[in-house]
Chains A and B, each alone.
Chain A
Amino acid sequence: MKKKIIKSFIVLLLIFIIGVFFIGLNNSTIYDTKSLVGQKLVNIELDHFNKKKKITEGDFNTNNFTLINFWASWCGPCRQEHPFLIKLKEENNLKLLGVNFKDQKKNALKFLNEFGNPYDVLAKDQLGKSSVNFGIYGIPESILLNKDLVVIKKFIGPISLSDYGYIKDIINK
């Protein structure tokens, strides 16, 4: 009897594992973050860069548009996109939320001193865990949100001149 239970348990366990594998195969597992487009971001929670407080939806649901930008001082391409972010700062319709990703505070501040600070709000994600919730798998990445916090577009890699133009078009429409 005891043997039978053990045997059935092993068989069920194996079926369970293989079943999960099968389902997992059909899920699209290439991080296709495009599926994020059109979704509403909920339960946002990020650590503030300087202060001991959390940044939540409440901090930017009054903006017409929000661009969340994930960056780090150690990331080369981030320097490349930085001038565009500085330019975007001039737009009245758009607020920028920077998320400093797996970085040291000292280096991050140095970076901002050197190249300028385009961010209206700055958050940090030292362990890189909060960023996972945004579907981030590399930096730089940016997410453009509308007033209802629905994702309009996701930019993988540095913001380019054409991305800059695209953002300008959308927010000034």
Chain B
Amino acid sequence: MLSNTGNILLLTNIFLGIFIIYFSFQNLKDNKAFISKKIYQLCLLQSTIIIISFLTLIIAFVISDFSIVTVYQNSHSLKPFFYKVSGSWGNHEGSLLLWIIILTIFSFFFLLYNKDHPKNYRIYTLIIQNILILGFLSFLFFNSNPFSLILPIPKEGLGLNPILQDPALAIHPPLLYIGFVGASIYFSAAMASLLVDYSGKRFAQSIKNWVLFSWSFQTLGILAGSIWAYYELGWGGFWFWDPVENASLLPWFAMTALLHSLIVLEKRNLLYFWVIILCLLTFILSVTGTFLVRSGILNSVHTFASDPTRGVYILMFLSLMIFFSVMLLFNKFKSRNYVLNSNSKETFILINNWFMIFYLITVLLGTIYPIFTEVLTNHKVSVGPPFYNAVIIPIVGLFLFFMSTGPRVKWIKNNFYNLNLLLKILLGSILINFFITYVFDSYSLISNFIIISALFLIISSSIDLYQLFTIRKLNLSRVVSHLAFGFLILFIGLNYNFSLEKDFNLKLGEQRIFKDYSLEFKDLQLQDFKNYKAVIGEFKIKNKTNNLEDTLYPEIRIYMKPSTITYEASIKTSLLKDYYITMSNIDRSDYYNIKFQKKPFMIWIWISVIFISIGGFLSLFKNEKKNY
């Protein structure tokens, strides 16, 4: 029943897409200045129906309708309600449907919110966006149909992979999709802009908020994924340079570059083609990431079950997208000569873009390099954190320096460098850094460099923040994002350098003593939960310097459906540090393998990222206020 409903809704949407494209072309021909009401209605209907079809899938998950393959494979009747719902997008088919919803809704809202822009530009954007929608819809319908039936109907589902049953991961795909699928709208807009020669300041204004919106969500989406990895994967890290993580980071770099160069286009009417390239690149990278993750061409800890036909389809679609955007770009490209003063805001924004592109290429190379070596030389390699750390970390310091000074520079031509102030800030940073190394009693050259440059950005952004309240000429959203970014790097640096990690075996009742801490294995209990059993350990951590005690409860969970053992870390978060314990059993032995970690300032890493994206949202609200 639900299967039929879902299929009919999807099919209706395919036809709606075709109608919208057809009527849009018709509408272009007439001489009226406005877009016909029919198109608005069709778009509204399109959005409504795709949402209803998604609700149908959610209902199928909630009532555990195992006649639908997707539900059978990814759900179980005993699963908590919350994870039944989130299970609907925790798989390939459902998440692809979510992807299409975002394409559709963005298409409708772009049409709705850009009424002061020319008709042909808006119509072409709509047409291109609908071609994208049609492409993905037919992929969904013919290849990855979430409503496919299974006969005979199974009595029980296979269950959702337990490590995916986590609140952070439940919100992770929607956030991330708003980010990088949202990028589709400025892909379409950029194509339309090339087609109808709608360039310059006005074009920048038409896409600015969409870039900000998707960028802010992309940031939050990456954060949710990272938090999930920290809590759930049980290794105590929060970023692993895994291909899937990289796939979400690549469009983020492109978006960040775009966000900055758009300002130049809006204020100075420069860099138009560069902005277009970034618009196209962002969405192309999003689709490339999806291809890499979904096709199974790369192995990763969290690849969805892979199916080569999927890969072929996405790759064909990707090739077409690249082909048409490159052709159009080559066709319309005019090289424009402009001279930028080296001491001007434009130049500094360009420098930001170079850095972003450098990071992008580094991560892209690292991600796809294994595919190339395997195809060309038949060697399997894996590119891991050492590569990224070696290439990226030394550059970060320089990047932060430009990030601190850039925003103070004026448009067109800056008259003076405030060298005195910069030197003072630098001196301050170095002093604070020495204080930090003194307190933590550890030293490494590169970490000092990173911490100093992060402090440099923090101090100069703080001065901006202070001036914001006195002079009120500065941009609050920028200050917030930059300040938060400074803190992010600082806390990552501190966390990376001053973490404590101990790995050992312990028996119930035993105690282990370290330099500043002691750890006691106090108790072990077996408990039954709704969909799993758990062996729960009780550990007492005593900090010898201040005599504070904490108790942690790491678990070994035994899930019934699918039968899996997971090791749940127990994490005690406080403002200054996280304690992190994982416990795993050792067969035929009373001993348990314990991994104990102390990670300073963990929570501040998350908070910094939240503030980076708050900066984006602030800017969005400010633009909205200006417009109305």
Which residues of A are in contact with B by a Cβ distance under 8 Å? 3, 7, 10-11, 14, 17-18, 20-27, 29-31, 74, 76-77, 79-80, 83, 107, 132, 135, 137
Q: Is there a chain A Cβ closer than 8 Å to B291's Cβ?
A: yes
Q: Are B587 and A11 in contact (CB under 8 A)?
A: no
A20 touching B322, Cβ below 8 Å: no
CA distance A71 to B101 in the complex (A): 47
26 residue pairs bridging A and B, Cβ less than 8 Å apart: A3-B335, A7-B330, A11-B326, A14-B322, A14-B326, A20-B371, A20-B372, A20-B375, A20-B376, A21-B315, A22-B315, A24-B375, A25-B297, A26-B308, A29-B296, A29-B374, A30-B306, A31-B380, A76-B585, A76-B593, A77-B587, A79-B586, A79-B588, A79-B589, A107-B503, A137-B299
What chain B residues lie within 8 Å of A137 (beta carbons)? 299
Across the interface, do B587 and A79 meet the contact criterion of CB distance under 8 Å? yes
Tell me whether B584 is interfacial, beta carbon within 8 Å: yes
**B299, B319, B326, B375 interface centre (most CB from chain A within 10 Å):** B375
Task: List which B276-300 residues lie within 8 A (CB) of chain A.
Answer: 291, 295-299
For B335, the chain A residues whose CB sits under 8 A away are: 3
| Distance between Cα atoms of A20 and B326 in the complex (Å) | 19
As a 0/1 sequence over residues 588 to 606 of chain B, the CB contacts with chain A under 8 angstroms (1 = contact) are 1100010000000000000
Q: Which residues of chain A are near B326, meaning CB under 8 Å?
A: 10-11, 14
Given A7-B330, A14-B322, A29-B299, A76-B315 contact (CB < 8 Å): no
B406 interfacial contact with A, CB 8 Å: no
Structural contact, B291 and A21, CB atoms closer than 8 A = yes
What residue of chain B has the Cβ atom nearest to residue A23's Cβ? B375
Can you list, as one digit per residue, whether each of B294-323 has a CB less than 8 Å from chain A (1) or not (0)?
A: 011111000000101001100100110010
Q: Which of B315, B503, B587 contacts A74 (CB 8 A)?
A: B503
* Distance in angstroms between the alpha carbons of A24 and B318 in the assembled complex: 15
For the complex of A and B, list the 9 residue pairs with the smallest distance between their C-beta atoms, beginning with the closest.
Answer: A80-B587, A25-B311, A24-B371, A23-B375, A24-B375, A76-B584, A24-B297, A20-B375, A79-B586
Nearest Cβ on chain B to A138's Cβ, whole angstroms: 11
B345-398 contacts to A (CB < 8 Å): 368, 371-372, 374-376, 380-382
A21–B296 CB distance below 8 A: no
* Distance, CA A20 to CA B380, complexed state (A): 15
The residue on B at minimum CB distance from A19 is B375
Min CB distance, B236 to chain A, in Å? 13
Q: Does the CB pair A31–B587 fall under 8 Å?
A: no
Of all chain A residues, the one with the shortest Cβ separation from B308 is A25
B375 contact set on A, CB distance < 8 A: 20, 23-24, 27
Instruction: Please judge, given known A-B contacts A18-B315, A20-B375, A21-B291, whether A29 and B297 are in contact too, CB under 8 Å.
Output: yes
A164 to chain B, nearest CB (A): 15
Q: Are A25 and B312 in contact (CB under 8 A)?
A: yes
Q: Do A29 and B298 touch across chains, with their CB atoms under 8 A apart? A: yes
Task: Report the minimal beta-carbon distance from A80 to chain B, rounded to whole angstroms.
Answer: 4
Which residues of B from 537 to 596 have beta carbons under 8 Å from A? 584-589, 593
A29 to B291, CA, bound (A): 14
Contacts of A80 in B (CB 8 A): 587-588
- A30 contacts B380, C-beta separation under 8 Å: no
- Looking at the assembled complex, report how far the CB atom of A62 sits from the nearest CB atom of chain B, in whole angstroms: 29
Give Cα distance in the complex from A6 to B216, angstroms.
35
What are the residues of chain A within 8 A of B319 when measuring CB–CB? Answer: 18
A74 to B380, CA, bound (A): 25
Closest CB in chain A relative to B101 CB, distance in Å: 27
The one of A11, A20, A25, A74 that contacts B295, using a Cβ cutoff of 8 Å? A25
CA distance A74 to B382 in the complex (A): 22
Contact B593 A74 (CB under 8 A): yes
Within the complex, the shortest CB–CB distance from A84 to chain B, in Å, comes to 12
Q: How long is the Cα–Cα vector from A24 to B593 in the complex, in angstroms?
A: 39
- Choose among B296, B311, B315, B371 the residue that contacts A30 (Cβ–Cβ < 8 A): B296
Residues of A contacting B330 in the complex (Cβ-Cβ under 8 angstroms): 7
By a CB distance below 8 angstroms, the chain B residues around A21 are 291, 297, 315, 371
Interface residues of B in 397-429 (CB under 8 A from A): none
User: Please, which residue of chain B has its CB at the minimum distance from the CB of A77?
Assistant: B587
**Given A20-B372, A24-B297, CB of A135 within 8 Å of CB of B587:** no
**Separation of A83 and B586 alpha carbons in the complex (Å):** 13
How many angstroms from the CA of A89 to the CA of B36 in the assembled complex? 83
Residues in A neighbouring B380, C-beta threshold 8 A: 31, 132, 135
Is B315's CB under 8 angstroms from A27's CB? no
Per the bound structure, the CA–CA distance linking A12 and B355 in Å amounts to 25
User: A76, B322: Cβ atoms under 8 Å?
Assistant: no
Enumerate chain B residues within 8 angstroms of A26, measured Cβ to Cβ: 308
Give B244 Cβ to nearest chain A Cβ, in Å.
Answer: 15
Q: Are A132 and B381 closer than 8 Å at their CB atoms?
A: yes
Q: State in angstroms the CA–CA spacing of A141 and B318 once bound together.
A: 38
Residue of A nearest to B310 (CB): A25
The interface residues of chain A lying within 8 Å CB-to-CB of B296 are 29-30
